[in-house]
Chain A
Amino acid sequence: MSSKPKTKRDFTTLNADITTEVVQRLDRVGKHGAVIAEAPPGAGKSTLTGSVAKALVDREPKLRLAIVTQTNEQADDIVGNIAQRYAGLPIARLTSGDGPSHAVQKLLGPSVTTGSKGDDPDVHAARVVVSTARKWQYERSRLQSKGITAFPIALIDEAYQMRSDMLLGIADLFDTLFCVGDPGQLDPFSIVDDSLWKGLPYSPTRAALATLRLFHQDLEPLLLPISWRLPPSAAGIVSSAFYPFTGFDAGTVAEERSLELGVAKPWCGSGPAPTDLALEKAASEGWAYVELPERFTLRTDVELAATLASLVERLLVRGATVIDELHPGGKELTPGRIAVITAHNDQVHAVRYELAKRKVDPDGVIVSTANKIQGREYDVVFVWHPLAGRRDATTFHLEAGRMCVMLSRHRQACIVVGRAGATQLLEEFPDSDPVFLGEPEKFPDGWQANHEVLQHLARFRVG
């Protein structure tokens, strides 16, 4: 953990510097080369993608640029983002036959167009064409027999969530790639049994960038050094547990971020509300770990769901003011800026049910799984510890990426609810996963990252 004195850094200047660096590197690698940018949580990936796109098309008046995303929502977000920042830049959203979503339909106009084929006149006239990897794969397949005119450059967003076979399916369309993503988050997954391909560098279920880097070993990723989302209280642990080699710093200093809880209104019991202890600890220190007694439970542990719901309820009852670099005067903490993150879908439902029981609108706050909440940002986050109440510690529950997503969504405070015995479970449960020759080590190691997180949380234990 770094304790060096921090000078205030400026996001806009840093982004401009990195954009220039990316464009220069793209020139250097040329045809059949790639530039990779690795970004920790909240490092300004979306902004960078937009500004690199803008810089590239501004520089070469004839350049047509492709942007590849992993999901339709991400593609829509990018179109919205670029259309808003650079009005007038002709951009097209390439969609499947079903047409664009409502979000994109609202943006359509002279500079935002849509079509289902790359050679539709509207799409062809655009300088930037955005679509999902899957759609690009169909596009490549369609053009295969007709002759492919490659796009000179493609930007791949969330590239660490892309599977190797997806990249294989689109690579012929693009001469040079700019891949940006967060290596610490969840790897792409597939429920197809991939035992036959274990150890192969081109295994379809590997991450695309793992394959790319194995075949092109000279690629040196550009590291985005700063998280503008995570508060200084969180950057240290997230950096050391999940980004042990690269590391990053918080872009803000402790004085810039604070969460001021409303007065401790009386509650129906006697003494201080037990939830207040956790909330106050989190507000002042950035973290709180609520540890319920040790017990084996079902996956939908009712007591744990109820604890999470009570904490959310109490936070809403007390209210809070969020002070950060964007709102130095403070703004009210709204339910939409609060998230509850679980590992499983059924746990999402358990929490929503408990919220509804307490007359808290379960759609007002965000309750979601780690997989679905990747890339999102909130002020206060509540986490259902994946090992709470379990008898086994499986690879799924130990995956470093999952824990990293859970602990890196917040701007102010993170409250984790778990059960005693997690450390012991971690130490005692035997690893039953087969080992395959030639398969790269999962890095960072899930067991170790979880251990480090539990040690960190122990310092903030309440209850």
Chain B
Amino acid sequence: MRYLGLGDTHDVPEATQWAGAHLSWLAEHALFPGQSIFLAATELLERHFVTGQSELENENLASLLAWIDNDPRQGLTQILAADETALGPVPDPVWEASLEPLVKAWTEHQRAGDQAGMAKAAARVEALVAPKLREAYEATWKALDRARQIPVAGSVASRWETDKRQWGAHALRAEQRIPRFARRHDVLRAAYMMEEWSGALEQLAFHEAIDDPLVLAELDAAGRCVSGKVCEVNLENHEVKPGNKNKTLVPILHIELAGPSTLLVEDSVLWAGKPTVRAEIRSIDEGKAVLAVLSGHKHGALLPARGSTAVFAAMSTFGGQSPTGPDEVPWTHRVAEEAIEPDDVGEADDGSPDLSAGELLGLPVVGVIGSDAVPGVVL
């Protein structure tokens, strides 16, 4: 939709072009890890509920909701019934096939200039589509209501700030004119977004583990934690930390491990109770671990108490500056200069439509289905 109206290919209302611009922004922002502006209801619920379905089956909102809200006394009855409804990325092919002759009829009436026939056909399409749409709409609200019953996590506010900032940037562009989007990311842009999204994903994983004991438990079960009873807190230990000249307090914690850990000496861990507290594993052996707290302990004031249970997780929270990308595309990512044809360059970001109007008209029509064909199968 974002190319409509460009290059005199189609005459479309301005509102359509705006819709194309906003949808383009949403489509790209949807890929930003941890964003909460544009979510699929199924993805949202799947992060919080486990069902007896495969991931593919969970993409159908009807059966996902049936699993979540199932009355345990009912067995599988309601779930199996919901299986018959398709509220997923792909519509029910049988239903879709019943729509086809109606749309065809509308087109035929339009070609014949038959206004009354068109209206009649349109009404029949609406009668078929509206209940399905309503069903999906209501299920989406139900999913949202269900998600809202879950308490808000601590890190949500900061992620929402990021969302607002990014929408703000889009809104600023929109003040000038209808924002245009490149057909594809070019080399440098793609690498830049990769860096951005990887960083956001890392942050999200970290925040989820701190916010949600179940996520932390998953890390612990994978052996990525040192967890157990704090049996000794030594506040007398002083060391010269790397980069320092003088000795400073490095508290030492002895922990009786409650479960196995795959972490090794020298691995860096964060205290789940206060993730600004960073420690290093000094020894880990035979059910015991010794940690040296290197930073964030506020002169020993911020530490798990002796006798308490603590979890230290190995998580990367590298908050430093990302490396900047190269200014130009290096030799590895482009064709050697002498081999470049003039047509090969500079087309990725000109915002032009994929095909010209003439080219579009010249395209052969494929996938014409006979009336007796099996729905959903194109031969």
Binding site for B on A (CB under 8 A): 32, 34, 98-99, 101-102, 137-138, 140-142, 144, 164-165, 167-169, 171-172, 177, 190-193, 195-197, 200, 202-205, 208, 211-212, 215-216, 345-346, 348-349, 352-353, 362, 391-392, 432
Once bound together, how far apart are the Cα atoms of A117 and B194, in whole Å? Answer: 25
The answer to whether B201 touches A191 (Cβ under 8 A) is yes
The answer to whether B54 touches A392 (Cβ under 8 A) is yes
Partner of B221, one of A144, A167, A191, A349: A349
The answer to whether A346 touches B221 (Cβ under 8 A) is yes
Q: Give the interface SS of chain A, mostly helix, strand, loop or mixed.
A: helix
Contact status of A171 and B330, CB under 8 A, knowing A192-B201, A196-B28: yes
The answer to whether A200 touches B190 (Cβ under 8 A) is yes
Partner of B242, one of A32, A99, A190, A211: A99
**B323: which A residues are within 8 A, CB to CB?**
137-138, 140-142, 169
Q: Within the complex, what minimum Cβ distance (angstroms) separates B34 from chain A?
A: 12
Q: Within the complex, what minimum Cβ distance (angstroms) separates A141 from chain B?
A: 3
Once bound together, how far apart are the Cα atoms of A254 and B182, in whole Å? Answer: 59
Q: Interface with A: B104-112, B227-235, B332-340, which one? A: B332-340
Which residues of B, 53-68, contact A by the 8 Å Cβ criterion?
Answer: 54, 56
**B324: which A residues are within 8 A, CB to CB?**
141, 144
The A/B interface has a contact count, at CB < 8 Å, of 108
- Interface flags for B5-42 (1: CB within 8 Å of A; 0: not) read 00000000000000000000000100101000000000
The answer to whether A215 touches B184 (Cβ under 8 A) is no
Partner of A192, one of B194, B242, B329: B194
Contact status of A165 and B31, CB under 8 A, knowing A171-B332, A211-B333: no
15 other contacts beyond A165-B195, A168-B188, A171-B331, with CB at 8 A cut-off?
Answer: A32-B331, A34-B332, A137-B323, A140-B323, A168-B329, A168-B332, A169-B191, A171-B333, A192-B198, A192-B201, A195-B31, A196-B28, A196-B193, A215-B332, A432-B56
**A177: which B residues are within 8 A, CB to CB?**
332
Partner of B327, one of A144, A196, A352: A144
Size of chain B's interface in residues, with CB distance under 8 A?
A: 37
Partner of B333, one of A98, A141, A167: A167
Q: Within the complex, what minimum Cβ distance (angstroms) separates B331 from chain A?
A: 4
Q: Is B187's CB within 8 Å of the partner chain A?
A: yes
Q: Within the complex, what minimum Cβ distance (angstroms) separates B101 from chain A?
A: 28
Q: Within the complex, what minimum Cβ distance (angstroms) separates A332 from chain B?
A: 26
Residue from A138, A141, A168, A169 with most neighbouring chain B CB atoms (10 Å): A168
**B193: which A residues are within 8 A, CB to CB?**
196, 204
The answer to whether B54 touches A165 (Cβ under 8 A) is no
**A353: which B residues are within 8 A, CB to CB?**
260
The answer to whether A204 touches B190 (Cβ under 8 A) is yes
Q: Within the complex, what minimum Cβ distance (angstroms) separates B340 from chain A?
A: 11
Partner of A196, one of B31, B33, B335: B31
27 inter-chain pairs at a CB distance below 8 angstroms, sorted by A residue, are A34-B332, A141-B325, A142-B323, A167-B332, A167-B333, A168-B325, A168-B329, A168-B333, A169-B191, A169-B323, A171-B326, A171-B331, A196-B31, A196-B193, A197-B184, A200-B190, A202-B187, A204-B191, A208-B332, A211-B332, A212-B332, A215-B332, A216-B335, A345-B222, A352-B260, A392-B54, A392-B56
Which residues of B, 263-311, contact A by the 8 Å Cβ criterion?
Answer: 265-266
Once bound together, how far apart are the Cα atoms of A349 and B260, in whole Å? Answer: 8
Once bound together, how far apart are the Cα atoms of A211 and B335, in whole Å? Answer: 11
Which residue of chain A has the shortest Cβ distance to B325 in the bound complex? A169
Q: Is B223's CB within 8 Å of the partner chain A?
A: yes
Q: Is B197's CB within 8 Å of the partner chain A?
A: yes
**A137: which B residues are within 8 A, CB to CB?**
323
Which residue of chain B has the shortest Cβ distance to A212 in the bound complex? B332
Q: Is B185's CB within 8 Å of the partner chain A?
A: yes
**A432: which B residues are within 8 A, CB to CB?**
56
Residue from A190, A196, A349, A352 with most neighbouring chain B CB atoms (10 Å): A196
The answer to whether B185 touches A200 (Cβ under 8 A) is yes
Once bound together, how far apart are the Cα atoms of A138 and B201, in whole Å? Answer: 20
**A196: which B residues are within 8 A, CB to CB?**
28, 31, 184-185, 190, 193
